[in-house]
Structure 1
Amino acid sequence: MLKECVEDDFYELRMVAVDRLSPDGISVFFWGAFAISAVVTSVLDLGIFGSSHHVTSIFWVIIANVSIVLLITQLLFTFLYSKEKYAYRFQRLQSILLSIISLKTSTEFYLALLIFCMGKNVPNNIRTTAIILCIGGLIYLIVSTIRGIQRVRKGEFRKGGKGLYNFAQSKAQISFPIVFGVTMLGGSIFKVLSDSSVSFGPLLQLYFFLLLCVVFQYAVAFAWPEFFLLTYCKFRFDSFIIPMPKRPIKENKTTKRTKTRKNQTYLVTHHNKQKKKSTEKKVGGGKK
């Protein structure tokens, strides 16, 4: 779908690759994503391998073990790309990891929510609502990606174009997930309230956490096409491989050397003055 597009059609994305999604900026994102994944993995481990052992399903044991392996792998890549020279040297792999890690981070909150639901006497409709909202977020991700590709073909990423985020013309795309999320959450809350045997108070925290899951996932789904297009351009156009900025290392070394030389010059001058004074005193004493 993008084979007909030329490099000029991605001009605005090139500016993003230099600024907001520079190799240094992506490395910072990796640390934030790792922190989120570490929290979710800790919740899974406590819920499954903790002292209470309220989750004994083999499915969740596998999920927890896979999460640990993925977290360790994510940490290794995060450390690797913390070094500037590797961040700029392996930019293509970094862009692939950006797409994968952002997608992983946006959905794994639901795992923690489902663990919370299993640890309490929670109605099944909350778990069902969470699963439907997660699937809806994945569908929204696909729709957003198709829309991003269409905007490239329409020339919105050329120089002076509006890029991916044109909120004036994206009201339908923005309002759809809001309406869908509010409808699903509202229907679930209404169903719980209509059941007199269920106390809504203890469930309020779960609904708030579910709201955070939905907002985070759908926000990433809205921005994810930019990550996908960046990865595509990294592999197709050499101009998207950002050169590593030159750091003033030599200037710092020169400054240190200059300071050292000044100190040495001062010591030599001071020594010569003291020697001269001592000589003058001896000469003056001899005359007397």
Structure 2
Amino acid sequence: MLMIACIALASLLPAQGSFAGHFGTATNIAIALLFFLHGARLSRATVIAGMTHWRLHLLVFSTTFVLFPIIGLALGLLVPTVLPTALYAGVLFLCVLPSTVQSSIAFTALAGGNVPAAVCSASASNIIGMFLTPLLVGLLFARTGGGGVSLSAIEGIMLQLLAPFIAGQLVQPWLAGWLGRHKWLVTVVDRGSILMVIYLAFSKAMVAGLWQQLPLQSLVVLLLIAAFLLSTVLAITIFASRFLGFSRQDEITVAFCGSHKSLASGVPMANVIFAGQEIGAIVLPLMLYHQMQLMVCAWMARRYAERTAAERALVTEPQGAAQ
């Protein structure tokens, strides 16, 4: 609802002129603070505990950085008859982004999955994505005629995202406990920075006339593409987990970490990689997918939790009857 409110605000009162410049500077600072806090919160012991399940992590990374891009390239067959080129750039960008951290871990915990492995996979996906996403953008966009990514864009991501994260890791032993007692601070910075970026991106889109150029048919197509991506990846990750003999806890972790795409990392990366371009059209597929993954995976997490609770009840009931 807050995201929709930001889009509405940007449509009515878009940031322009000097205000847009100052707001952009404040947004960059908020993003850097966000990744600093992520680095300060991430427990090294938890990461080490989760790193041992290498098959699970390999499946998650393959889904995030191999399966998604392949599907994204295949969706290029819809251009330009069904999907406009500008929106396809956003779909392809969505497909090369890393997984989320907060929602992946939260849904895994709610569903009764392997939480330490989820922490490791989601966090590693974001760290690796800082390097791999710009490289995939350069490779795939060059192949599709969309241009590559510049060295300055990679440097910008390193300075804005990776450097604060490393700084947070360095002070993690001293700040982790305090941040654990003040989780509201991370939540405010997390959601606030995303909302700031969305407002700024769609302000630029409004000034450039995005909504006048985006017909209702294209929006419907984006929703269908998001539904196709999410359902396909969820089905493949669940089937692959069962085929490989993973436990249900590991299956839950693979499904959620493998299918999610990070809005917190994606929008800042888009601002750097596609600087000077139409950012609103590029992040729109990501925003739609992000909302869909939250709603669908929240429902899935409850179903997993209910199934686990029902099975435990069946196990304990005969024992109680026997006593």
Question: Could you say which TM-score interval applies, normalised by the shorter chain?
Answer: 0.3 to 0.5
Which is richer in helix? 2
- The two structures have a TM-score, normalised by structure 2, of 0.31
Determine which structure has more spread, i.e. the larger CA radius of gyration. Answer: 1
- The two structures have a TM-score, normalised by structure 1, of 0.33
